[in-house]
Structure 1
Amino acid sequence: MRPPVRSPAEGPSVPAPLSLDEAMRRSAPLAHLASMLAASRARLDVVRPLLPAPLARAVSAGPVDAESGNWVLLASSPPVAAKLRHWQPRLEAALKEAGLLPAVIRIKVQAG
């Protein structure tokens, strides 16, 4: 999209706004963020179907550590986190089987 053309009497021209997708493609930091979000969602897509429905509804994807590749799985409450820790070896094995290495999960209780 081309920016609007204005005459000097109208003042400075303002470029047309970018869509979020376009801004993320043009900005290296935002593109990296989008990549990390996709990696987190991919991991959640692998582990969520393995969990019982009530437990699956109580978890969400957290960040993937860019350096280590470790992933944070967010639990809605301390009891959910405790239950997830029982499932952790099976979930990590599923990530490894899916080729999402290193397949290390850190479980944290989601604040708020």
Structure 2
Amino acid sequence: MQRRHQAIPLQQAAQESPALATLMDRVRDSSLRLQTVKSLLPGPLRTSVQAGPLEDGCWCLLVASNAVAAKLRQLVPALQAHLNQQGLGVATIRIKVQNS
């Protein structure tokens, strides 16, 4: 990789760096899964859930509170079934409460 003395767009940097390209692919895959299941989430929950890391068949959802986490845990089987139907299946879905 050639050293530059000027800023370059993120997309270009990702194309030139295999590690960054892999990271961007994982972020894109995680975001796609969240968009796929968002319609299954009750309206008030949708804004409290964010896509987290996707590694080795385990997808993590980041939530704003314990209450949201509890409700989301009840929905995990339906979310997994929907992802499987769409060809985006994961082995497990983890729920993690973000520290504010």
TM-score (norm 2): 0.90
Q: Which protein is richer in strand relative to its size?
A: 2
CA distance in 1, matches of 2:20, 2:64: 27
Q: Does 1:73 align with 2:65?
A: no
> Which amino acid is the alignment partner of residue 7 of structure 2?
P
Q: Does 1:86 align with 2:78?
A: no
The answer to whether the 8 Å contact 2:51/2:61 transfers is yes
Which SS does the other structure have where 1:62 is aligned? strand
Q: Within 5 Å, which residues of 2 pair with 1:1-112?
A: 15-65=5-55, 68-112=56-100
CA distance in 1, matches of 2:69, 2:96: 7
CA distance in 1, matches of 2:99, 2:11: 28
The answer to whether the 8 Å contact 1:93/1:103 transfers is no
TM-score (norm 1): 0.81
Q: Which runs of 4+ in 1 moved over 4 A?
A: none
The answer to whether the 8 Å contact 1:96/1:103 transfers is no
CA distance in 1, matches of 2:90, 2:57: 6
Which SS does the other structure have where 2:28 is aligned? helix
Answer with 1 or 2: which has the greater Rg: 1
Query: Deviation of residue 47 (structure 1)?
Result: 1.0
Q: Percent identity?
A: 44
Unaligned runs of 5+ in 2: none
Query: Deviation of residue 103 (structure 1)?
Result: 4.5
How many positions carry a matched residue from both structures?
Answer: 97
CA distance in 2, matches of 1:97, 1:50: 13
The answer to whether the 8 Å contact 1:77/1:110 transfers is yes
Q: Report which structure shows greater RCO (CA 8 Å, sep ≥6).
A: 2
